[in-house]
Chain A
Amino acid sequence: MLAAAAAGLLLLGISLAFYWVPDAPIEGFRQRIFYIHVPIALTAYACFFWAAWKALRLLWTRDQRYDLESYTAVHMGVIFGILTLVTGSIWARTSWGVWWTWSERQLVLFLVLFLFYSAYFMLRFSVDPGPRRANMSAVYALFGVVLIPVSFLAIRLADELIHPVVFTRDVNSNLVGSQLLTFGICFAGMLALAASLYTNELTGKRLDERLSELREALS
């Protein structure tokens, strides 16, 4: 159901982005990367928030099932993080003429956020499975979520505004109706895709765990 919704919404959103939305005044045709890049970035943030929420639930209730849920959400967040970096890099190449620039704080902060969550896996797999590993992973996922508002606000607070800013109070720089609708559909589709992948991945990981328990019981 989620997968079908994701496919339908994304197909509709991409079709609208290519055939309905007008060209942006300055960026022109290349602004269409926005409809995939920004929803992916926001979905990555949403996954990291979800991971932190599950981590908090684990630390609050000591229920070990939240450990796997938090881990799966970080896994999804990192996949969407990679896509954010790749699509952003392509957009940078066509807009600024470079694949990457270290002078932009928002790019570097997103990279730091991505590397922080990539290191989560190193921490997790360096500790034996059990409550200790679950607690350490949960605390790490909670720390990471602090970086998200910093990364998000950096786009608005940066001195050098090469990175485009949308959804501001300035009416002239905001999106027009068709752009906003297309963005909303793409964002909903991306969230549905993430939810669908999360559910499937979680089912697979739970199945893996139960099979290991069964193997131990039978051997």
Chain B
Amino acid sequence: MTSAEKYVTAAYLVVLAVVLAYIVIYAFKLSRLEREVAELAELARRRRETQSEPEPEPEREEVAG
């Protein structure tokens, strides 16, 4: 392999490496977003359960006399 061939190959490989690095970073971002969506879905489910539970009856005050 000549010197020129090495440099040309390196230029193309650098571009490939940057695109691959971008894809890896994006994959991490997607997994973070997925985790956050799951957390929010869990939060929304808990809130719905709390709202659907029957409210405890208020204690009646005893009337004196």
Contacts and interface: CB of A to CB of B under 8 A. Distances in A.
Interface of A: 14, 28-30, 32-33, 36-37, 40, 79, 82-83, 86-87, 90-91, 93-94, 193, 197, 200-201, 204, 207-208, 211, 214-215, 218-219
Given A86-B14, A218-B47, A30 B36 contact: no
Interface residues of B, number: 24
Nearest to B40: A214
SS class, residues of chain A in contact with chain B: helix
25 contacts: A29-B2, A29-B4, A29-B5, A30-B4, A36-B12, A36-B15, A37-B11, A40-B15, A79-B18, A83-B14, A83-B18, A86-B11, A87-B11, A87-B14, A90-B7, A91-B7, A94-B4, A94-B7, A201-B26, A204-B26, A204-B33, A207-B33, A211-B36, A214-B40, A219-B43
A73 to B, nearest CB: 15
Given A36-B12, A86-B14, A211-B33, A28 B47 contact: no
Given A90-B11, A90-B14, A218-B40, 5 more contacts: A36-B11, A87-B14, A90-B10, A193-B19, A204-B26
B11 A33 contact: yes
A215 B33 CA distance: 12
A204 B10 CA distance: 31
B24 interface: no
Contacts of B8: 29-30, 32-33, 94
Given A29-B2, A208-B33, A215-B40, A82 B18 contact: yes
Contacts of B3: 94
SS class, residues of chain B in contact with chain A: helix
Nearest to A207: B33
B9 to A, nearest CB: 9
A207 B40 CA distance: 13
Given A200-B26, A218-B47, A93 B7 contact: yes
Interface in B37-58: 37, 40, 43-44, 47
Contact of B22 (A91, A197, A207): A197
Nearest to B44: A218
A83 B40 CA distance: 38
A211 B22 CA distance: 22
Nearest to A215: B40
Contacts of A94: 3-4, 7-8
A211 B15 contact: no
Contacts of A14: 12
